[in-house]
Amino acid sequence: MKPSSQRLTTKPKKGASRAATAATLSENKLTTAYGKTHGIAGKKAMKVNIFPGGKRERQAGVFVAFAGSSVMAHDAVMKGVSGRALTRIWDSTRGTLPADAILKAIGVSARTAHRIKSDPDKPLDARTTDGIYRLESVRAMAEEVLGSAEAADEWLDTEAMGLEFRKPIDLVSTSPGAEAVKTLLQRMKYGVYA
């Protein structure tokens, strides 16, 4: 799918006048689907692909909120993401991963998920956000190793010999389990199965 337009955000030049700096910062603002405008001064240039309908390109399966260093990801988890993150996961895995397996991996009940869907703008707690982060980081790594999101989701829902014949999606609900899945994916990436 080819993007309909691409934007390149830039930093204001050193020694630039206030007017030039303000113009650069106003160019950096991006209106999201929810009507919020984001402008980040002093950050590195970042290419944003916007497709017809205003949808942003998914960057290797990980939400933009978790992009960056591990410390930045920690801060995003502690702050919490909106309930829309859970809806995005359901939409992106529709037909490839069972909803109950996703809820178990994230660590929320069906009733809690229904409450989250009824008020999607409310920030999720750190525990639920951490579950989303774990699932999305494993999905991103599986997508990188296996080549597509569909192949990654299919692999997550299939028993793996390297995980003692357990489904990777079942192990993502804990940090040690997620690490075991990531270790297996690293071994698969480099062809080391023994």
From the centroid of its chain, how far is CA 50? 17
Measured from the Cβ of residue 83, the count of other Cβ atoms closer than 10 Å reads 20
Residue 149 pLDDT > 50: yes
Is residue 129 a contact partner of residue 170, using CB atoms and an 8 Å limit? no
Residue 1 pLDDT > 90: no
Return the structure tokens found at 79.
Answer: 């702050």
Q: What is the per-residue pLDDT for 182?
A: 96
Is 189 or 32 the better-scoring residue by pLDDT?
Answer: 189
